Amino acid sequence: MDLKFTVSGRIAKSVDVVYEAVADPAQLSKYFTTGGAKGRIETGATVTWDFHDFPGAFPVRILAVEKNRRIELRWGAAPGTADADESGEPSTKVTLEFEQLDDGRTLVKISEEGWAQRPEGLAASYKNCEGWTGMLCAMKAWLEYGVQFRQGFYK
């Protein structure tokens, strides 16, 4: 059994607005990366994401981008929790998909895979599933209501 998951949510904004909220580091820093994001999401780029709940900037390698449709990235994982990438480091692959719905909302799906087939991998996947669900909730609150959902939530 592969350890992977997909979470999804609908946001009452157009796909270009929702996509930009992820691709633009200034916007991402408003609702998700509580310690800040650096670098625009573009194919081949390495950006950094920092979170107050997990201090220290995480390098995030952008594998592929289809504007307003899909972002594929790879980021590091704790030793023993994920499979090794081409550099030999443990990492997982995350895919964000954006779909414009007929009612004007955008469906966002976030999938993550590459977890090690052992208890440590399962535990880490649950934590990241929780994190991506929180990200979708925070993005909805930010884009629809201007509320910084995560501000003060962790520290």
C-alpha closest to that of 107 among 70, 77, 72: 70
Asked if residues 110 and 139 have their Cβ atoms less than 8 Å apart, the reply is no
* CATH homologous superfamily of 4-145: START domain (3.30.530.20)
pLDDT at 128: 95
Task: Give residues with Cβ within 8 angstroms of 107, minimum separation 6.
Answer: 8, 9, 10, 97, 98, 99, 101
- pLDDT tens for the chain, 155 residues: list them: 689 999 999 999 999 999 999 999 999 999 999 889 999 999 999 999 998 877 788 899 999 999 999 999 999 999 999 988 888 899 999 999 999 999 999 999 999 999 999 999 999 999 999 999 999 999 999 999 999 877 777 66
Asked if residues 14 and 104 have their Cβ atoms less than 8 Å apart, the reply is yes
Measured CA distances, 54 to 51, 58, 67, 103 (Å): 5, 9, 29, 37
- In the numeric block, which tokens belong to residue 149? 């959902």
pLDDT at 155: 64
Asked if residues 24 and 47 have their Cβ atoms less than 8 Å apart, the reply is no
pLDDT at 41: 98
Write down the domain spans for the chain.
4-145
C-alpha closest to that of 108 among 133, 83, 89, 88: 133
pLDDT at 2: 86
C-alpha closest to that of 143 among 53, 38, 15: 15
pLDDT at 1: 66
